[in-house]
A and B are shown apart, each in its own frame.
Chain A
Amino acid sequence: DTGVSQNPRHKITKRGQNVTFRCDPISEHNRLYWYRQTLGQGPEFLTYFQNEAQLEKSRLLSDRFSAERPKGSFSTLEIQRTEQGDSAMYLCASSFATPPGANRALHFGNGTRLTVT
């Protein structure tokens, strides 16, 4: 399977701890996105990269959240000093960067479910 891979699938942590999630996109894709999804809601955009450049990060929920994509391939999302409100599914997606109209469909992984106790 050469789809988007996310690890771990589940993470349980205590409040105040730091957590890091990894995303491996589809190898041909140069764009990578992070979304968050809470129960009963649709996914919420957080940030995205084109190659190694982070083009949008204003939607990151606070300065405790940060993302990197150092070599333009895999990406990590870190949450520092976790809070119970951070409990959610964190989704990664990748796509080509193409002109509007061409297929810019996002391909999502199955997410990392974070539980903060």
Chain B
Amino acid sequence: DAKTTQPPSMDCAEGRAANLPCNHSTISGNEYVYWYRQIHSQGPQYIIHGLKNNETNEMASLIITEDRKSSTLILPHATLRDTAVYYCIVPFGGTASKLTFGTGTRLQVTL
């Protein structure tokens, strides 16, 4: 997998937008960016993925820079239930099968 770099932790006030950055400077042209999160004591949960266009779904938005070397996951109105570890993953060759999770960003949403 292309190497990704994420900050180890972030805080966000409830109701505010949470912007989680990810650097993936070695990404190649056909590789997608996937985001998962893991709430304590649960399995990881898929959030969103994208190639080069910005993407939005009911959970989040994904902004990918034009050079594709970084991306930002946006939770528009964070709630306490969004407290989790967020993983940015670029699977090798777009296979999306053998994900390398890394240590992710621990997001703490506070009142």
A108 x B44 contact (CB < 8 A): yes
A104 touches B51 (CB 8 A): no
Our pick among B41, B51, B93, B96 for the contact of A106 (Cβ within 8 Å) is B96
Do B94 and A109 touch across chains, with their CB atoms under 8 A apart?
A: no
Give the interface centre of A4, A31, A108, A109 by most chain B CB atoms within 10 Å.
A108
List the one stretch of B13-21, B60-68, B75-83, B100-108 in contact with chain A: B100-108
Question: A13-21, A40-48, A71-79: which one contacts chain B?
Answer: A40-48
- For A40, give its contact among B46, B87, B103 (CB under 8 Å): B103
Nearest CB of chain B from residue A44's CB, rounded to whole Å = 7
A103 touches B30 (CB 8 A): no
Complex interface bits, B15-35 against A, C-beta within 8 A gives 1, otherwise 0: 000000000000000101010
Q: Which parts of A32-65 form the interface with B (CB within 8 Å)?
A: 33, 40-45, 48, 56, 59
The count of residues in chain A whose C-beta lies closer than 8 Å to any C-beta of chain B is 26
Q: Which residues of A contact B101 (CB under 8 A)?
A: 42-44
Q: Which of A41, A44, A93, A105 contacts B43 (CB 8 A)?
A: A93
Q: Sort chain B's interface into a size bin.
A: 20 to 34
Q: Please report the number of residue pairs spanning A and B whose Cβ atoms sit closer than 8 angstroms.
A: 61
A29 contacts the other chain (Cβ, under 8 Å)? no
Q: Is the CB of A33 within 8 A of B97?
A: yes
Asked if A105 and B41 make an inter-chain contact with CB atoms under 8 angstroms apart, the answer reads: no
Q: Roughly how many angstroms separate A100 CA and B32 CA in the complex, as a whole number? A: 8
Contact B34 A48 (CB under 8 A): no
- A48 contacts B98, CB within 8 Å? yes
- A-B contact sample (17 more), CB < 8 A, given A42-B87, A106-B44: A4-B43, A33-B97, A41-B103, A42-B102, A43-B44, A43-B101, A48-B97, A91-B43, A95-B96, A100-B32, A101-B32, A101-B51, A104-B95, A106-B36, A108-B45, A110-B42, A110-B43
Residues of A whose CB lies within 8 Å of any CB of B are: 4, 31, 33, 40-45, 48, 56, 59, 91, 93, 95, 100-101, 103-111
Residues in chain B within 8 A of chain A (CB atoms): 30, 32, 34, 36, 41-46, 49, 51, 85, 87, 93-104
